[in-house]
Structure 1
């Protein structure tokens, strides 16, 4: 049974003094330049005390956006359930200051209705998410991935129903490419659905959104872009500069990051990127976030944290978003060599 220490949380009075807030495309919704993602570190294997202190640190510094999905954990649903406990216990009086998002699209329960993009799955999943989060609505509800087995009209219609029913304020799409985004946008515009943002993986080392047309299509249709894995799951930090620590994601045999992802040649690339960051007076993580945020097409970057100090380090990226032309050329050269 989860228990809370007896503590009253009083947010910092100056929490809005230094965080920039950027519009989601042409909409009126603004997000903090840095947002908090709940993917890996808010499941049942994490300490509740650490989780709540991460949330406190984030909000105290103007991070008003908490991003979740139905399958975040471990296990599936655990991150939403733990977030719900924290929101209820400590943030109930600040709900109107928060943007809470969640998603559905990947497998959540057995049988033919437990994943994908059907109306049945999306709306059932949203109801379950709201129950776990102990919220009446989420601010953004995303379809988490394209589903080739469901007509796009059905999936977009479900997102629209989520909004018209009051269970979500805005719709979003995650992991879509440019052409599919344009088709989805045309449907949602026809339904007058407030679709405002795309969530995709994007980092110095992963330029997929530049190649598949997503970034260009988001700009053309007036949608914001929020990036996940901006630090390439730790590869763009000092974590692996001297090899693979036993307690790292790679060292523990993580599902999404393998030893084969970090070859000697790639390790040398991260060291050169780190040298460039140091010459700018930044950590590698800070430079990697700054590289994304220098682009006004990027609304926000999603960062994860296993301890509050990581949030504070990431915030340092905001102190220098300016890059010289030769710095950008060197980053592009090293990124191309990574592939």
Structure 2
């Protein structure tokens, strides 16, 4: 398994001045096993979180992504604590770019401004480079939300605005509104991987490319399915949380349908001396040029090592296309 990388080539995030590594560290797993979505993961120890953050940043990642809803701020706090520890150690990698998100459920756009100081406090006073609307279902209009985000940029509370889980139409509207304030929408964070490609079909990817908006792909390994572990040993399905077992893709029929794709990932992995998961991540960050960046998470150090290793090589165009075809076949 490739675990080390030479200098990682950075790419622009949208039309911002931010330059990011193709992969950033997703911090959902740092939720302390609490909250609406945090129960998806077990409660990691501080020492484990520190090691994961250290390996990720020292390996070439220069940005992290978290959210208010991840444990009600506990993920942000755990991340901040780990970065504090790295600073105390004198690490040269203790100041990554930080992306986090506002949770809109049963809230109006006024909450974006009224809760920003809570986000900054949870992050230990660190600046927010990218602030994202987590879902498109607040009680306010997109126009009101973008006005609030523009206000935060003007006040110096955040550097750039992004969204998450927005449709093509919603994304275009958010971008249009921000332009009225002299800003652009930097990114749209959506689920995207070889086994989940809705944005390729519904116009979101096309619109993002036209407007120069980056796609931040979450769940880039389809919750571990693209590593091949569940195909190799179906008994491992019982070891994951019930919430994860309920997801589509882990049933017998779905595993059989995706097996040819997993087999191809394995063949390419052997060729490059890497893992199937690293091949899946490499496809994701190269198939659309610089448009897509991804945020794989890590609950173990070896996951972090595998993530950074996925940036140390590049699939050729023919291999990207082979995976593209196998992906669509698995989704029929």
TM-score range, shorter chain: 0.7 to 0.9
Whether contact under 8 Å (1:273, 1:284) holds in the other structure is no
Whether contact under 8 Å (1:66, 1:100) holds in the other structure is yes
Q: Tell me the equivalent position of 1:79.
A: 75
Tell me how many residue pairs correspond in the alignment: 312
Within-5 A mapping of 1:162-241: 162-241=152-231
**Match 1:285 to one of 269, 274, 277:** 277
Deviation, structure 1 residue 95: 8.2
Q: What SS does the aligned partner of 2:8 have?
A: coil
Residues 272 and 323 of structure 1: CA distance in aligned 2, closer, same or farther (over 3 Å):
farther
Q: What SS does the aligned partner of 1:170 have?
A: strand
Deviations 1:44-76, CA, capped at 9 Å, x for gaps: 511100000000001111211111000113xx2
Deviations 1:89-135, CA, capped at 9 Å, x for gaps: 3237768841011101244xxxxxxx44x222212332211111112
- 2:5 & 2:310 partners in 1: Cα distance? 17
Q: CA RMSD in A?
A: 2.5
Of residues 180-189 and 310-319 in structure 1, the stretch that sits farther from structure 2 once superposed is 310-319
Whether contact under 8 Å (1:225, 1:297) holds in the other structure is no
Q: Structure 1 stretches (4+) deviating beyond 6 angstroms?
A: none
Whether contact under 8 Å (1:273, 1:331) holds in the other structure is no
**Match 2:135 to one of 139, 145, 150:** 145
Deviation, structure 1 residue 182: 0.9
Whether contact under 8 Å (2:55, 2:304) holds in the other structure is yes
Residues 210 and 246 of structure 1: CA distance in aligned 2, closer, same or farther (over 3 Å):
closer
Residues 161 and 95 of structure 1: CA distance in aligned 2, closer, same or farther (over 3 Å):
farther
1:264 has 2:264 as partner: no
Instruction: Name structure 1 gaps, 5 residues minimum.
Output: 1-14, 108-114
- 1:277 & 1:186 partners in 2: Cα distance? 39
Whether contact under 8 Å (1:25, 1:222) holds in the other structure is yes
Within-5 A mapping of 1:1-339: 17-43=6-32, 45-73=43-71, 76-91=72-87, 97-107=95-105, 115-116=106-107, 118-147=108-137, 149-241=139-231, 242-245=233-236, 248-249=239-240, 252-254=241-243, 256-258=244-246, 261-280=249-268, 281=270, 282-294=274-286, 295-323=288-316, 325=318, 328-329=321-322, 331-339=324-332
Whether contact under 8 Å (2:298, 2:304) holds in the other structure is yes
Deviation, structure 1 residue 320: 3.7
Q: What SS does the aligned partner of 2:223 have?
A: helix
Residues 136 and 326 of structure 1: CA distance in aligned 2, closer, same or farther (over 3 Å):
closer
Deviation, structure 1 residue 160: 0.7
Residues 68 and 51 of structure 1: CA distance in aligned 2, closer, same or farther (over 3 Å):
same
Deviation, structure 1 residue 246: 5.8
Whether contact under 8 Å (1:293, 1:321) holds in the other structure is no
- 2:238 & 2:195 partners in 1: Cα distance? 23
- 2:93 & 2:330 partners in 1: Cα distance? 45
Deviation, structure 1 residue 137: 2.2
Q: What SS does the aligned partner of 1:91 have?
A: helix
Whether contact under 8 Å (2:132, 2:161) holds in the other structure is yes
| TM-score of the superposed pair, with normalisation by structure 2 | 0.85
Q: What SS does the aligned partner of 1:272 have?
A: helix
Whether contact under 8 Å (1:231, 1:285) holds in the other structure is yes
Whether contact under 8 Å (2:193, 2:221) holds in the other structure is yes
- 2:177 & 2:6 partners in 1: Cα distance? 39
Instruction: Name structure 2 gaps, 5 residues minimum.
Output: 34-42
Deviation, structure 1 residue 136: 4.5
